[in-house]
Amino acid sequence: MAIQDSLGGAAVAAPARSGARRAGRLLLGLPPVVAVSVAWLALALVVAAGADLLAPYAYSALDLKARLSPPVFMGGGWAHPLGTDELGRDVLSRLIVSVRMSLLIALFGTMIAAGLGTVLGFLAAHFRGRVEALILVLIDFQAGMPFMIIALSVLAFFGNNLVLFIVLMGFHAWERYARIARGLTLAANEQGYAAAVRQLGATPLSVYGRHVLPNIASTLIVSMTLSFPEIVLLESGLSFLGLGVQPPLTSLGNMVGYGREYISRAPWIMLAPSVVIVMTTFSISMLGDWLRDRLDPTLK
Amino acid sequence: MSDRPPALALLAADGLTRHYRVRRPGAMFGRRDLLRAVDGVSFAIRPGQTLGLVGESGCGKSTTAKLVLGLAPATAGTVSFDGAPLPAIGTAAWRDLRRRMQMVFQDPLGALDRRLAVGWQIMEPLLIHRLAGPRDARERARAVMASVGLQPHHFDRYPHELSGGQRQRVVLARALITEPRLLVCDEPISALDVSIQAQVVNLLLDLQEKLGVSYLFISHDLKVVRQVSHDVAVMYLGRVVEQGEADALFRDPVHPYTRALVAAIPSPALGGERRRERIVLSGDPPNPIAVPAGCAFHPRCPWAVADCKAATPALRPMPDGRLVACHRAEATPESRAA
Amino acid sequence: MLSFIVSRAARAAITILLVVAFAFVVMRLSGDPALLILSVDAPPEAIEAFRKAWGLDRPIWEQFLTFATRALAGDFGRSMRDGRPALALVLERVPATLAITLPALALKLALGIPAGIFAALNRNSWADRAAMMASVAGFTMPSFVLALLLVLVFAVQLGWLPASGSDTPLHAVLPILTLGTAGAAIMARFTRSAMLEVLGQPYIRAASAKGLGWWLVVLRHALPNAAIPTVTIIGFMVGSLVAGAVIVESVFAWPGIGRLLVSSVANRDLAVVQSLLMVIAGWMVLANLAVDLAYGWLDPRVRTITSRAD
């Protein structure tokens, strides 16, 4: 609805217009930076979804004859458009697979955190008393310690595997969703529709699921657009340090981490994933800012 | 009222009390004050009749409403509805009771879910209590919408697309669709435009006549309370200070607090006689945490004597049957003023 | 005011206790420390002796109390790798971390605050937009990418500065630049929004309506009021100095506590990780406490409002 508003009445007046043309117009109606961001994210999603089809080589395939060959714009050949690494693996193929890995981790992490935080926020607002006090203490703890340090401590104790790592990313910023869910639910319980529906006799599940959640969804989504790039950064930072995604799997941070050994001889190994990280997080932040301005007057 | 057999009452509250522990400002380590939001309130509502509950904000009116509906647990005292005590909060029996007693809120926009069409919200109680299938619920929603004066095309509107009066009609329709015996109306018109208020009040009166529903009507607007109520209870700092048949109470208020409230009604219809002895409330506004000893009203009372600071007056019957909690209730106006 | 200080200090103590509890819970959840630290095929009597030494045969509450008292006394046992007390190992690395983080903090403030004020005073000018784009880049660019770009330019291409190590003061330049520039962008953003908030207030308009010169209004009314929210973000930056240094110290092989943390995590040197966790938490809590007190001092309203809101 908000997007249509920005286009004026035109899009509303011609509902029969084809989907593709509508999408095109929609993109043109956006501020240029946001439009570029959307386009980049769409590309990243397509790449992530079709990674197996798009990657010209298997991401771990060695080509020992073509080790450290430069990308096409630095004098390399079209066989490896973005060059190869120290083992002759195709940088483009690894990049494509890494995009999928990093986006998947960030997506799961964001969804776990949103789910966990929202449920805890609801519980706090529903039960009040001791439950709420305990959850508030946990929120304070989570907000008070840098998550990087918490994550590193957990990794030290538990060692590393992919599932644990994704779950760990799912603890990033859960407290923000919990705060939002608790605050808005308390407001709704105090005076508004939630209290009204509860006194109609609705079960808590239907009060929260059917009424409260849809009402706070836009605020939660805005919060997700804030924490998604943070998880991309966190994951790539930890993987860069060698403490995140472990070889033979590859992620964007992991590529940069291994590429930095060759920074003077083959800077493209680390530059390609770096550019992708920066573009992706920048795009989501831009989109998030824009969404926040449109969707959520309470955050202004 | 109190001399009627309780079996006749649809709802009876007896010694209803709700205390809250509140943290003292600036205090730590759990030092807490006791807030007596409601402190021993008793009343009864007969079928098809209205009890008006009046008092300043903070006097415990809204807490009383929650206790009566069983939305908050009472610290002490009982509420019985249709002869049976209220079931515990959250139980199946409690949930089932919801359809027989409903609430109408002060702020209709807040009480409605802004993301759902109002028609859906009106039929939601039927779906919650499985009283009807979706198609049947829709029919009944349209019927109840008509009875509160909403048009069929309002069904698919969203709350923000309606006027304040229409929204309150939607809230009423939602409350009425399960055919409840009791509606608790907590300041139902104070958020509405003055021009709309009369319409909603008239609608409430019509609905009572047609459906035989009882109201607990909470308001600080004595003019409206007088218009809709059969009986009236006046609350001050969690206690009822005067209670009785509406016309008599408004015609000749006994308690000095009631007198002050009645005298402040801005209406020429009340005549000049009462103007003469108009009471202006003086002193600090009431603080429910620091309730004065003795009669809670004594710091603001023009007729307070030493006794009033020492002993809390009990609610006791006057010759005409009404209940008053004032040590000096029997004194004539002339002797009081002295 | 006294009760304000006491309540804040109590809060800080609770946070510390929570960190201890967190370390304990994570430690116990992670499995049998005996099997974790000794190898699986260690002789049973060695495992038994280890359990006894660490009190693992006693009830969980007793274990927690022992753990907590030792943790609060700073005793986390010895580093697995070189057998020295873990806390000493951590503390001797602190000066190196401060040597890059404090100059970086100064850089953040010296660049970020003027840039933010300038952007706010010239709202919607090209300079404002450029500053805001730069600040978004500061948020979204990972520090290791910025670090490597700086290495690529100043060490690899130009050869002006060393790429890593800690032998000379010159080695500190790139780590400081990395930490400082990203932080400056963030600082600029916060300063700008704090300034814009203040500039929109009625008293600013009233002051300029009275005929005070614009610069006098800015100096006397806008800046002092904008300083109040800015203190929060500065406190947050001070608190997260160490966390921010983890990656940068690793990239530049700088021997601070951030790099120690990474290597201890990689080697699963748990005593050192726990000591680091407590030291970092203690630092964070102190920084937060300082911010709270500075806030109460700058803005008298906070004292009453926050204590009432509790």
- A44-58, A61-75, B125-139, C261-275: range with lowest mean pLDDT: A61-75
Optimal mutation site among C2, C14, C306, C310, interface B, most CBs of chain B within 10 A: C310
Of C306, C244, C278, the C-alpha closest to C70 is C278
Q: Which of B93-97, B210-214, B285-289 has the lowest mean pLDDT?
A: B285-289
> C37 to chain A: nearest residue by CA?
A157
ipTM: 0.80
Q: How many separate domains does chain B show?
A: 1
Distance between CA atoms of residues B295 and C270, nearest Å? 67
**B neighbour chains, 3+ CB pairs within 8 Å:** A, C
Query: Can you give the residue range of the structural domain that contains B292?
Result: 6-100+180-337
Of A196, A200, A215, the CB nearest to B115: A215
Q: C interface mutation test: which of A145, A251, A265 has the most C CBs within 10 A? A: A145
Closest CA in chain B for residue C306: B26
Chain B contact present for A296, CB below 8 A: no
Tell me the whole-structure pTM to 2 decimals. 0.78
What is the predicted pLDDT for the residue at B215?
94
Q: What is the pLDDT along chain C (310 residues), one digit of tens a residue?
A: 677 778 778 878 888 888 888 888 887 777 665 666 666 666 777 777 777 776 666 777 888 888 888 877 777 777 777 778 888 888 888 888 888 888 999 998 898 888 888 888 888 788 888 888 888 887 788 888 888 888 888 888 787 877 777 777 778 888 888 888 888 888 888 888 888 877 777 777 777 777 667 777 777 777 777 777 777 778 777 777 777 788 899 888 888 888 898 888 888 788 888 888 888 888 888 888 888 777 777 766 555 544 333 3
CB distance A192–B125 less than 8 Å? no
Is B233 a residue whose pLDDT tops 80?
A: yes
pLDDT at B118: 92
Per-residue buried b or exposed e for A203-239, using 16+ beta carbons within 10 Å of the residue's own CB = eeebbbebbbeebbebbbebbbbbbbbbbbbbbbbbb
Residues 18-77 of chain B whose Cβ lies under 8 A from any Cβ of chain C: 23, 25-28
Average pLDDT score, chain C = 79
- Give me the residue spans of the domains in chain A: 55-299
Helix (H) or strand (E) holding C265: helix C257-267
Please answer whether residues C18 and A137 qualify as being in contact, where contact means their C-beta atoms are separated by less than 8 angstroms: yes
User: Concatenated DSSP letters for A197-208?
Assistant: HHHTT--HHHII
The first and second tokens of residue A209, run together, are 């699921």
Q: Given this model, what pLDDT does residue A7 score?
A: 36
Q: How far is the C-alpha of C179 from the C-alpha of C105, rounded, in Å?
A: 8
Nearest to A193 among B99, B111, B128 (CB): B111
- Which of B267, B218, B211 has the alpha carbon at shortest distance from B57? B218
Separation CA C152–CA C187 (nearest Å): 26
Q: Tell me the percentage of chain A whose pLDDT exceeds 90.
A: 16
The domain covering C94-255 belongs, at the CATH homologous superfamily level, to MetI-like (1.10.3720.10)
Mean pLDDT of A170-187: 90
Percentage of chain B surpassing pLDDT 90? 24
Average the pLDDT over A201-213 and give the result.
87
Task: Give how far C270 is from chain A: nearest CA, Å.
Answer: 7
Q: Choose among C174, C247, C178: nearest CA to A241.
A: C247
Confidence of residue B155 (pLDDT cuts 50, 70, 90): very high
Nearest-CA residue of chain A relative to C258?
A149
pLDDT at B336: 52
Residues A225, A287: contact at Cβ < 8 Å? yes
Mutate: best of A193, A207, A212, partner B, most B CBs <10 A: A193
* Both tokens assigned to C226: 């904008």
- A neighbour chains, 3+ CB pairs within 8 Å: B, C
Q: Do B23 and C310 touch (CB under 8 A)?
A: yes
Q: Which residue has the higher pLDDT, A100 or C7?
A: A100
- Give A30 to chain B, closest Cα distance, Å: 26
Task: Give residue C84's pLDDT.
Answer: 82
Q: Do C148 and A263 touch (CB under 8 A)?
A: yes
A–C CB contacts, 8 A cutoff, strictly below? 126
Binning pLDDT at 50, 70 and 90, where does residue B338 land? very low
Which residue does chain C place closest to A258, by CA atoms? C251
Establish if B170 belongs to a structural domain. Answer: no
Give me the helices (H) in chain A, please: 2-6, 10-13, 19-29, 32-49, 51-54, 91-127, 129-144, 147-158, 162-169, 174-190, 193-199, 204-206, 213-240, 252-259, 268-295
B270 belongs to a structural domain: yes
Nearest to A132 by CA among A171, A189, A85, A91: A189
pLDDT value of position C184: 86
| Token pair of C148 as six digits | 């490597």
CATH number of the CATH domain containing B198: 3.40.50.300
pLDDT for res A182: 92
Is the predicted pLDDT of residue A113 greater than 90, yes or no? yes
Domain A55-299 listed as CATH 1.10.3720.10: yes
**Adjacent-strand bridge partners of B240:** B235
- Contacts with B128 from chain A: Cβ below 8 Å: 200-203, 206
In angstroms, the separation between the Cα of residue C305 and the nearest Cα of chain B is: 9
pLDDT level of residue B181 (50, 70, 90 thresholds): very high
Answer yes or no: do B28 and C308 touch at CB < 8 A.
no
As a whole number, mean pLDDT of residues B229-242 equals 91
Strands (E), chain B: 11-23, 32-45, 50-54, 76-81, 84-85, 101-104, 182-186, 214-218, 231-236, 239-245, 316-317, 323-324
Touching chains, C (3+ CB pairs < 8 A): A, B
Residue B31 clears pLDDT 70, i.e. is over it: no
* C247 reaches A (C-beta below 8 A): yes
Listed by start position, the domains of chain C span 94-255
